[in-house]
Amino acid sequence: MSGPDERYRSWRGVSQAIKTEASRAAKSGESSLTVSEQIVQANHDRFLSRIFADGEESEWLLKGGTAMLARVPRSRATKDVDLAAVAATDLDAAQDALELAASRDLGDHVSFQLTASRATGRGENQPGVLTRRLVFTGQDATTRWRTATAR
By C-alpha distance, which of 82, 80, 81, 78 is closest to 33? Answer: 78
User: What is the Cα gyration radius of the chain?
Assistant: 16
Kindly report, residue by residue over 52-103, the tens digit of the pLDDT.
999 989 999 888 887 887 777 667 777 788 888 888 888 899 999 999 999 9
Predicted confidence band of residue 1 (pLDDT cuts 50, 70, 90): very low
* Bridge pairing between strands 144-150 and 130-139: antiparallel
- Assess contact for 134 and 33: CB atoms under 8 A: no
Calculate the average pLDDT of the chain.
Answer: 82
Q: Which of the pair, 21 or 81, is modelled with greater confidence?
A: 21
pTM for the structure as a whole: 0.78
Q: Which residues contact 136 (CB under 8 A, 6 or more apart)?
A: 47, 102, 112, 113, 114, 115, 146, 147, 148, 149, 150
